[in-house]
Every structure is written in structure tokens, then in C-alpha cells.
Structure 1
Amino acid sequence: MYRKERPLLFLERTLVGDGSDPFNGVFAIRLKGIIDQQLLTNALAMLQAKYLQLQMAIAEIDSVKPYFYIPDTIDPIPLVVKEWQHPDQWQEEALKGLRLQFNIAKGPMFHVSCLTNNTRSDLILSFHHCICDGGGGVLLIRELLTFLDGRESSIDKQTRLLLIEDIIPAEIRRNKINQLKTSFLSGLLKTALSVSTLFTSAKHKEVLTRKHDYLLHSKLDSKKTSIWVSVCKKHEVTVNTAIGLLLLKAYEKVVGAESKNKVSCPVDIRKFARQIKDDQLFSFGMVLTLTKKKTDHHQSFWQEASMLQARVDKQMNELRPYEFLMTFEKLHGALPNMIKMLTYGKVGNDLMFSNIGRIPLQNDYQRFTLETVFSPMVVGPFANPSTIICSTFNNELDFSFISNEDFLPQKTAKEIVEYLINEMNSLIALA
């Protein structure tokens, strides 16, 4: 007998689909020092023993209620060790990790590659997005490095997955007004999805080939990063909003009339649903949308950014995480329509942009030094694969841009990234 955990939440099911397409996240880090393969194997075993998500598989994926379970025999986290050959080799491994097809019916849905020589090692951690988000990825890196350094973790071992009842307070779940409101909203969404799929056809629309995915990587040095953060604070604009505005301008400049004037930004649900702790793995959040208004065009960049910030703040204040979860948990029957719309429907945004923020990992360990944390990457099988993620480590702002040649030519993506970096440098020079 295996150990049954809980049914997948609706948004977890959306990330998994029917299990036939990868929807993975990847983190890559660079260590200075000799990393013994046996020590790494042992550290991964300790990490897996601590987090249920690294042991899990999914049963009855085609049923109305697929669920997570712990197999009787848990396979160890796969580890592939290769010779470190050049500084950009991690990008090749990261793309392989994004394309990796996990056996969701058996598990684990986690994989590690190690590129190593006598002086440094690059670790590439790949995971199915249904078990973990970017914040969870940082947590797993911290724990892995702790075990690899021969130290004990300060975080308690997980004994079960979070249930929806753990996340949404009882007084909110049982409130009649909330129940009626979320039932009404879910009904509207079901109707909208049903209507949308009537006009959405898979004919003549091929799912993007993962082999055509590409990665563009950029980094600002610590001096420029410090100035950028300072000038954003001076104008009372978040780094996220300022970069988001530059991305909107970049698409408008490079793509022209084909630009959607929309950048989707994930919001960490932990900021609102405090029942989900920072030391717990969770797989999804909420989303807000950045757009430029035509009336803002005659303003300076920072005036335009301030106007956008006001609209962002308004959206943030209107986010209702508990209503969001309650509404979507009533949509399980509409999952096929949701998947069809996301995969074959009309693309409504330019890209997904996420700012992980400062990565709270130390540099110095007893056995090695953490030199670099590259910004995480994620891509799924949906119609728009373009995602740019930034993060800050060692006071350096780091960017990873993932897309697909068949959706957005790499040449065009390079022009977008060049515009972003050049404009940031210009604003920094004027600060």
C-alpha cells in the first residue's frame, strides 16, 4: 500500500495537465571548491527525506480528482555528473532541465545535474512546477547547501502537505457571503471558458517544440545594481514596476504593432495568505497585469513609472487570495477548457515577468563558496512561453529570458533584452 496525500488543487492540475508535457522550473548556482559526488548524493538524500514534494508522484491523472501520493519504494533524486567545460555550459543543462519529462506517475519530480572540475561546480536543479515555485526553489537550494556543508537544518521536517483547509481560515471558508460570491465568480469563469473554447481550435495550431526553446542571460554589476535600486527608491517606484515598464517599452519599440501592451506578473501568495510559511513548498501564486496608458507617453520615464506604480498598488490592494483559491477550487470540472484555452487560445500578453528579489543565501560555507545564483527559469506548454525572471544575489541584478524560436525569434528577443539593459544603463548614468 502506498501513502495517499491529498488531491491536487485546481491550479496544480493546470500546471500538470495530462502529464504528457513538461512544465518545469530550473535553478542554477555556481560553487567554488571541490564538491565530492558522494557528499552531494548524501545531501540530496537528506533533502528528499525532509520534503514530501521530493518524494511524491501523482495517481489517476486522467480522473476528476488526481492526487499526490508517496510510493512504497521512493526512487532517489536523479543526479547526473559531468565535467565542467566552460562558463556558459550551465545554460545548456538548464535548457535540458526545462525539457525534462518527469515520470509523474512514479516520481520523483526533481532532478539535479552537476558540472564540476577541480575548482568549481555548477548545480542545476530542475523540478516540476506543480511541486514548487521560485520561492520554494530558493528554500531547496538553501537546505541543499546546508546538508552539503555537513550541517543540520534549522527547519522542521514536513509531515504532510498543506490542505486547502490549512490555507483558508475556517471563518472565511464558512462565510455564506464568501461562498455565494465565489460560486458566482466560478460560474462566470466556467461560462467564459466554455464560450472561449467554442472559438478555440487545435487545428492548424501546433504545440511549440521544446527543442526550440532558448535562454538569454544578462547581469548588472554590483555598482550599477546599487544605483538602480537607489534611484527606484528615490522615485518611490519598486524595482519590479520600473523593469516592467521598460519591458513594455521594449516590446513596443522592437515588436511594434504586434505588442499586446501587457506584461503579466506573478505575485507570491505567501505575502497575503500567511498560513503558507516561507519554509513550506507551494507551487503557484496570483497574477497582476502591467500596461502602459497612451496618456502617459508625454511624461518622463520616472513620471510614467510613478503612474504605473499607482495602478500596481491599486491591483495589489484588490487581490483577495482566499476568494481566489475558493473560486478556482470550484473549477475542477472546467479544467479541459482551461487547458485548451491556455494552449491554443489567442495570446493576450507579451510575456510573464517575475522578480524574485534578493536571494537570502550566504556566500561562505565551510566546504565551499557560493559564487553565483543565476535567476531561475520556467517554461510550460502553453501558447506564450516567453518569461523573464530577475533576482539579486551578491548585489548583482541577474536576468534569465526564456522563449521559443517558433513563438518569438531569438533575434527579436535579443533586441528586447538589449533595449532593456541599455535603457537601464542610461537611467543609471543620469542618476
Structure 2
Amino acid sequence: MKRKLLFGERMLLGDGTEPFNAVIPFRLRGTFTIEHIEHALSQLQGKHPWLRALISHDQNNVPWFEVADQPLPIPIRIVPRKGDDDWQEESRMEWQTLFNYGEQPLLRFIWIKGEEVSDMLFSFHHCLCDGGSAMTFLYEFLQIMDHPSAEIGVENPILGIQDVVPSDILTNRRQKLKAKIIGRVAATAIKCIPVGKKAVERQNDYLIHWKLDKTMSKELISYCKSMEVTVNTFLSAAVLRAFRKVKGEAAFNKVSCPVDIRRFAPQIKDDHIFAFGLMIVVSANQKMNFSENLRLMQETVERKTSKLNPYITMMVMESAHDALKNFTKLLKHGKSSNDCMFSNLGRIQIPHEYKNFSLETIFSPSVIGPLGNTTTMVTSTFRGEMDFSFMGSEGYLPYSQALAIRDEVIQTIKQQLDHIAVL
């Protein structure tokens, strides 16, 4: 089984010399054996073909996912657990560790082994899948760890654009022409945009982590419902406000927010290993107060989201493979125009109580790569607690400013909840 990488996957893959890795850490209370872990990972590979895949290049240097005849096991690295923050150090290490994708799978497993508590990490190349897909195989992994004979089914994998875009759109002459024209115009425009000769010196990468307790998390969700805005919009507004307070006029007042393509393309199932995403950019009206701004931003988010068209977007991108080099150069060398990327995975619906162990927490995923500004904030909610991972690099956002931005986000949440409590 094999398929060509789509445009977005090729962009994330790069030339293989720079890592673009995502990490999902989680904490289990219980005792485990290496045999149980090996079996669970093997079962995951049995269900998902692309977890068995290597990447090869054809005579035109085009990369392909290719499932080996005799699949190689997912590599496991074991380190002794010394403290509660070991997973952060291991996450940073995984960001920097290249995948030898011609010889090993695009997924690794790290076991931070303790006597009663273990932290475990899935580390994967971002071209393999997104956070949603990764949460699915985390859920399946835990099922098998608890019941080795658990049935998790078999994925019917996406083999190309034809498995995502309905045939009546993909073969429509008007839609094909539209996608080709947009692709050509975009490719020409990208060539004309001036970029620097050197990429920004990234310097040291960092990870800042925090949680909101159950009470504050619950109050925030209730507040958002009362304001008729999503938690995503509220947190985007809080992030924009924090950047403005810390960076002043140097802030861009722009946050890019990924939108799950599965909302628009039902062909992509929850258990598909797939990396394609959609994006909107959110800004704040700095002349309004926070609560007024929330409603305006929510209207903007809904309007922009309603205009997203995954099918045409994919067709445009697939018509522009020859522009990939210029597009990548623009991302690496062009000036940053966004403060950060903000991603909210929402409530993670994975059980925490199992027969043989308990899942104490899932830390929000972290991701870092070479395509421009690395500043990224990811949040998720598990067992009623909102969890935040804030990644960045000194060359884009100094660590001291990132800490101040974290404090401002927390302060904004507290201020809004205190305000409504007084009312």
C-alpha cells in the first residue's frame, strides 16, 4: 500500500533535515510491562496502515507513504521517572529528534517509568497526522493496554484527494478550473513576495505548562455560555489581549486558529490518520472593552468559518505542488505577521478509569517546527480541567515575555470571572 503525500503533508515533511514533531504526553497510575506496551503499539499498527509506513522518494523526488511488507515496530525509549516535570524535558528532546522516515515509522513511544506512576509520550512527525488523529490512537492504545484482546477495528485509509473530495466536485470542470486558476495566481504571488536571505535565528525552544482547576474551568465554560461565545473565542481574545499588554505596539493583533476539517468533510473519520487542516485568523477591536469585543469576535469567527471550503482548498493546494519550494521559503524567511497559533482541542472524551490502571491526566499536545514563527498555544480539557501548553523560541518570543503572556491570560480569565461573580 502506498500513496503520494498531499501538498500540506509535503510542506510539513520538508527535506528531512529539520524536525517538525508533535508530542502528546499522558500520566498513568498503575504498573506496566514492556510486553504490554509492545503489544498495544503492534495492535495500533495493525489497525492503521500509515503507522507502519516509511517514506520513500520516486525518481522525481516526490515523497510517498509506503507500507512495508514486513512492518517495523514503533520504537520505544524508556527513561527512569525522577519527578512530575520529566515529561516536559522529554517533550523538548522529542521536538529536536529527527525521524529517520526512510527506515523507521513516523511515530515513537517514550515511557518515563515509575514504580506507581508513569508518564508516557507519543511523539510523531506532524506530516503523519493532526492532534485529533493522535487522540484517537491514544484512546485505542489505552483500550488495548487494559484489555489486550480488545477489538479496535481496521482503518480504511485515505489514499488520496479522491477519498476526501466528493467525485462530483473533484471532476467538475468549473471547480477544477477555479482551483487551477487560484493555485496559479497564488503561486505567482508567492514568487513575487520579497523574503529575507536568512531565516530568523530560532535560538532556544521552550515549553510553558499550566492548568486551570476544575472550579475555574467550570466557571469559564459557564461564563462563555452566558455570553453566547465559544471558549475558543474567549481564549483567543485573552491571548490577543495578553500579547498587546506585554508587547505593546510590537504585537500584531492576529492569532491563527486551526479548524478541524472533519467538521466540513465527513469523509474524514475520527480514526483516520490524516494531517490536513483549515485555518482562520482572529483579531480584536482594540477600541472596545473585553466583553464587547467577545461578541464581535464571535460573529467574525462564525462568518469566517462558514466560508471555509475544504474541498476547493485541497484542490487548489494539489494543483500547486510546483510552488511548494517557494511557499516553504516564504514561511521560513518571510516576516512574521501573527502573534501566535492558538489551538483548542476542546473536551477530550477518553475514559480515565480502567480495570488495571487509571489515566490521571492528558497534557495538551505540543508541536514545534521550522516553518517560521514557532509561537503556539494549545489547550484541551480532560476530567474537567483546562490544560495549556505554550511553546515558543527565544528568537521569536523571549521566554520572559512568554511567561508574562501566560500570567496575563490567567489574569484576564480571573478578572472576567470575578466581574460576573460581582454581578
TM-score by length of 2: 0.96
> How far apart are the structure 2 equivalents of 1:233 and 1:151?
41
Q: What's 1:217 paired with?
A: 209
How far has the Cα of 1:248 moved from its partner? Answer: 0.7
Does 1:200 find its partner at 2:195? yes
Q: Does 1:234 align with 2:226?
A: yes
Instruction: Give yes or no for the alignment of 1:178 onto 2:141.
Output: no
1:250 pairs, out of 228, 231, 242, with 242
% identical aligned pairs: 37
Other-structure match for 1:81: 78
Structure 1 residue 75 displacement after superposition? 2.1
Residue 275 of structure 1 is matched in structure 2 by 267
User: Deviation digits for residues 351-406 of structure 1, max 9, x if unmatched?
Assistant: 10000000010011111000000000111102200000000001000000010122
Residue 414 (structure 2) pairs with residue 417 (structure 1): no
Moved more, 29-38 or 354-363: 29-38
AA aligned opposite 2:375: S
Residue equivalent to 1:352: 341
Q: Tell whether 2:382 aligns with 1:390.
A: no
**Quick one: distance in 1 between partners of 2:93 and 2:196?**
30
2:56–2:64 CA contact under 8 A, matched in 1: yes
SS at match of 2:65: strand
Residues 331-370 of structure 1: CA distance to partner in whole angstroms, max 9, x if unpaired? Answer: 1000100110011111110110000000010011111000
**1:105: how far off?**
1.4
Once structures 1 and 2 are overlaid, which stretch shifts more, 369-378 or 183-192? 183-192
Could you tell me which residue of structure 1 aligns to residue 7 of structure 2?
Answer: 10
Per-residue CA distance 1:69-97 (angstroms, 9 max, x = gap): 12244321111112111111110011111
Q: Within 2, Cα distance between the matches of 1:138 and 1:350?
A: 27
3-state SS, counterpart of residue 364 of structure 2 = strand
Structure 2 SS opposite 1:255: helix
Pair 125,59 (structure 1): closer, same or farther in 2 beyond 3 Å? same
Q: Which amino acid letter does the alignment assign opposite residue 403 of structure 2?
A: K
Cα distance in structure 2, aligned partners of 1:153 and 1:264: 39
1:191 aligned residue (165, 188, 193): 188
Count of equivalent residues: 420
Q: Which runs of 5+ in 2 are unaligned?
A: none
Distance 1:146 1:42 in 2: 12
Q: Distance in 2 between matches of 1:99 and 1:62?
A: 29
Query: For residues 68-147 of structure 1, what are the structure 2 equivalents within 5 Å?
Result: 68-147=65-144
Task: List per-residue Cα deviations over 1:272-307 (Å, max 9, x = no partner).
Answer: 01100112111121000001124xx233x2221000
Report the Cα offset of residue 206 of structure 1: 5.0
Q: 1:38 is matched by which residue type in structure 2?
A: E
Answer whether contact 1:114 1:124 (CA < 8 A) is retained: yes
> 2: distance between equivalents of 1:240 and 1:61?
42
Conserved? CA contact 1:34–1:119, under 8 Å: yes
The structural deviation recorded for 1:134 is: 0.5
Q: Which residue of 1 aligns with 2:22?
A: 25
Q: TM-score, normalised by structure 1?
A: 0.94
Give unpaired runs (5+ residues) of structure 1.
none
165, 168, 174: which is aligned to 1:168? 165
Deviation at 1:150? Answer: 1.9
2:37 counterpart residue number:
40
For the residues of structure 2 that align with 1:201 and 1:416, how far apart are their CA atoms?
28
Pairs within 5 Å for 1:403-414 = 403-414=392-403
**Contact 1:90/1:115 (CA < 8 Å) preserved in 2?**
yes
Matches within 5 A, 1:324-335: 324-335=313-324
SS of the counterpart of 2:185? helix
CA contact (8 A) 2:155 2:271 kept: no
Distance 1:268 1:242 in 2: 18
CA apart distance, 1:137: 1.1
3-state DSSP of counterpart to 1:130: coil
- Supply the distance in 2 between the matched residues of 1:320 and 1:54 (Cα, whole angstroms): 28
Find the residue that maps to 2:343 and give its secondary structure: strand
- Change in CA separation of 1:52 and 1:258 when aligned onto 2, cut-off 3 Å: same
Conserved 8 A contact 1:232-1:238: yes
| CA RMSD after TM alignment | 1.5
Give the 3-state SS of the residue equivalent to 1:92 in structure 2.
helix
- 1:298 paired with 2:292, answer no
- The answer on whether the counterparts of 1:64 and 1:333 sit within 8 Å (CA) in structure 2 is no
Deviation for aligned residue 1:225: 0.3
Distance 1:159 1:168 in 2: 16
